Amino acid sequence: MITERFLRHRAATLDNDEQALLAASVTDTCTLTTRRIVVAAGEQQSQSLLLVEGFLCRYIDDRRGIRQLVALHVPGDFVDLHSFPLGGLDHHVSTLTAAKVAAVPHAALAKICEDRPALAKKLWYATLLDAAIHRAWLFRLGRLDAFGRIAHFLCETNARLQAVGLSDGQRFAFGLTQSDLAEICGITSVHVNRVLRGMREEQIMTFRSGQVEIHDSERLAHRGEFDPSYLYLDEGVLAAIPAFNRSDRCLRLDQDHLLVEASA
Amino acid sequence: MITERFLRHRAATLDNDEQALLAASVTDTCTLTTRRIVVAAGEQQSQSLLLVEGFLCRYIDDRRGIRQLVALHVPGDFVDLHSFPLGGLDHHVSTLTAAKVAAVPHAALAKICEDRPALAKKLWYATLLDAAIHRAWLFRLGRLDAFGRIAHFLCETNARLQAVGLSDGQRFAFGLTQSDLAEICGITSVHVNRVLRGMREEQIMTFRSGQVEIHDSERLAHRGEFDPSYLYLDEGVLAAIPAFNRSDRCLRLDQDHLLVEASA
DNA sequence: CGACACGTTGAGATATATCAAACGTGGTGG
DNA sequence: CCACCACGTTTGATATATCTCAACGTGTCG
């Protein structure tokens, strides 16, 4: 089924019925070539896309036309579900590799929201997961150096692909270029190249010819300060994912962290 | 009314009826002191908070306990509305200044989702706005230098406060420290201080003793490459907000940017 | 075979971090 | 009322991560 990879997550999983309903709402399936804009910023949308195969991204241009990627999408993701309540997008959507997508008209989503509040809430949930990933990306850009950013990104991608059965935890197909990586991590492609060499030399991982191979996932997670809890994965999947140990962190929860003082 | 500042936006504004319903769902109003954790990461939540007064933030700690702020909240924001579908949070929520919040139990939100799909969609919309702001922050961290980041952030904050009537466009009360700014922009507070001095010297803006004063909003927007479209504001408000001219950008939309090739 | 995109490497420039110290200033207690 | 403290701000000197520019290598595809 076309929706089989969608939303396999801790707090929200589609039951068969819901999966079928969503799959039945698909009007069209398209094959897309690599490096093509799929949805342009600002244009009113009347459908949303479910990614079936390949990798898409969302990005914002700067003054010079250099892109900042704000999201990467893996198979199973509802790429621009947010265009349903929002109307148009504040960013572009583009393919990074060849890809296959399925289109769901907003009219069908509207009907789901009317009739199936439980499913509607799961769709909402799916967009909140995207937002949680945005926040992890903010952490990555704001607090990690180039090495850490790439490490963190690879840990995340590995975990997400693992969740949909497209990585075994050590190795996955990933046809992005070093420049793509640069636009994700907010650094130059030259520097990406040097960091990648460093990772190879330290036997942490290899990124070559469309394959990522992780040799030391412990160290990768540690260098990327990667804590996968923001992905809200099922316990089962989560257990298989090496993580930066949360208890290493100084949480500064010493003070009482609850609502205080007068109420009215 | 306690909800008067909530969701005054282009594609979604609450009508009186909806506002009243939401306001009636508030069970509690709290006054919070400055620099206090309000919601800790991971803990199961049974209510969400509407910010009435003051500033809150959301943040993620790094290994050394340094915070990366991932969101700033201004009065009218539904700070942790996402904890309703999500359950617990992947980050902490804390006050930045003294603040007043109103609590809405998740049970009440659940009822709204059941009975009022239109209002539910607007709540969804509100969380999507947060996500759009996350993306702008990603752009800021990934593509702008320290000067640009601070400029962009101040433009955004000014616009958001303008939308809820807390800035006249040139000046607003803003009791954050330079360290807060540093944790937002992913730079050190020492560097924030130097950039701020630069802005003062260039007569662009002044950030002092809890007041932001913008002397040259054109230049501020330009240096921050600030395009407010991601805030989805009403045309009226939008017109009053100086913006980096989108047409300056190289949008690279030359290729056909629509779905291509075979469908099945 | 040539063209073109991607990857790799080097040398030098620069933005920002780091460390350290001094300065205000508002609040508190003696 | 003054002394002092805590906290935020300001400044300087030095270190360093990353960028920039430039060249060259390598593989793929028409």
- pLDDT tens, position by position, for chain A (264 residues)? 899 999 988 778 999 999 999 999 999 999 999 999 999 999 999 999 999 999 999 999 999 999 999 999 999 999 999 999 999 999 999 999 999 999 999 999 999 999 999 999 999 999 999 999 999 999 999 999 999 999 999 999 999 999 999 999 999 999 999 999 999 999 999 999 999 999 999 999 999 989 999 999 999 999 999 999 999 999 888 888 888 765 444 343 333 333 333 332
- B94-103 pLDDT, tens digit per residue, is 999 999 999 9
pLDDT at B245: 64
Strands (DSSP E) found in chain B? 8-9, 12-13, 28-32, 37-39, 47-53, 56-61, 67-73, 92-95, 99-105, 171-173, 205-208, 211-214
Q: Which residues in chain B have their CB less than 8 angstroms from residue A41's CB?
A: 229
Contact A141 B144 (CB under 8 A): no
- B182-196 pLDDT, tens digit per residue, is 999 999 999 999 999
Instruction: Tell me how far apart the alpha carbons of residues B254 and B251 are, in angstroms, rounded to a whole number.
Output: 8
Residue B236's pLDDT band, with cuts at 50, 70 and 90, is confident
- B150-161 pLDDT, tens digit per residue, is 999 999 999 999
pLDDT at A209: 87
**Tokens coding A182:** 């640069």
Instruction: Tell me how far apart the alpha carbons of residues B170 and A11 are, in angstroms, rounded to a whole number.
Output: 44
Instruction: Tell me how far apart the alpha carbons of residues A121 and B208 are, in angstroms, rounded to a whole number.
Output: 44
Alpha-carbon gap: B6 to the closest alpha carbon of chain A (Å): 17
- Through-space separation of residue A37 CA and nucleotide D27 C1' in angstroms: 26
CA dihedral in degrees (A10, A11, A17, A23; nearest 10)?
Answer: -70
Q: Which residues in chain B have their CB less than 8 angstroms from residue A127's CB?
A: 124, 127-128, 131
- Through-space separation of residue B210 CA and nucleotide D1 C1' in angstroms: 29
Number of Cβ atoms within 10 Å of the Cβ of A246: 14
- Through-space separation of residue A162 CA and nucleotide C6 C1' in angstroms: 28
The answer to whether A213 touches A205, Cβ cutoff 8 Å, is yes
Q: Which residues in chain A have their CB less than 8 angstroms from residue B90's CB?
A: 132, 135-136, 229-230, 232
Instruction: Tell me how far apart the alpha carbons of residues B33 and A261 are, in angstroms, rounded to a whole number.
Output: 8
What 8-state DSSP symbol labels residue B174? -
Instruction: Tell me how far apart the alpha carbons of residues B22 and B19 are, in angstroms, rounded to a whole number.
Output: 5
Q: Which nucleotide is nearest to A208 (CA to C1')?
A: C7
**Alpha carbon separation from B185 to A65, B72, B153, B222 (Å, rounded):** 22, 12, 8, 17
Give the best residue of A7, A46, A60, A84 to mutate against chain B (max B CB count within 10 A): A60
Partners of residue A93 on adjacent β-strands: A39, A58
Between residues B121 and B246, the one the model is more confident about: B121
- Through-space separation of residue A145 CA and nucleotide D17 C1' in angstroms: 8
Size of interface A-B (CB pairs under 8 A): 230
A131 in contact with B at a CB cutoff of 8 Å? yes
**Tokens coding B206:** 């002044």
B251: pLDDT strictly greater than 50: no
What 8-state DSSP symbol labels residue B167? -
Instruction: Tell me how far apart the alpha carbons of residues B59 and B94 are, in angstroms, rounded to a whole number.
Output: 8
Per cent of chain B over pLDDT 90 is 85
pLDDT at A258: 34
pLDDT mean across residues, chain B: 92
Question: What is the enclosing helix (H) or strand (E) of B217?
Answer: helix B217-223
User: Which amino acid is present at A129?
Assistant: L
Residue B259's pLDDT band, with cuts at 50, 70 and 90, is very low
B168 in contact with A at a CB cutoff of 8 Å? no
Instruction: Tell me how far apart the alpha carbons of residues A168 and A170 are, in angstroms, rounded to a whole number.
Output: 6
Number of Cβ atoms within 10 Å of the Cβ of B1: 10
A259 in contact with B at a CB cutoff of 8 Å? yes
**Tokens coding A187:** 């650094």
The answer to whether A137 touches A186, Cβ cutoff 8 Å, is no
Q: Which residues in chain B have their CB less than 8 angstroms from residue A11's CB?
A: 85-87
- B121-176 pLDDT, tens digit per residue, is 999 999 999 999 999 999 999 999 999 999 999 999 999 999 999 999 999 999 99
Which residue of chain A comes nearest to B58, CA vs CA?
Answer: A135
- Through-space separation of residue B198 CA and nucleotide D13 C1' in angstroms: 20
pLDDT at B250: 38
Helices (H) and strands (E) in chain B, counts: 9, 12
Q: Which residues in chain A have their CB less than 8 angstroms from residue B138's CB?
A: 60, 68, 70, 134, 137-138, 141
pTM over cut 0.85: yes
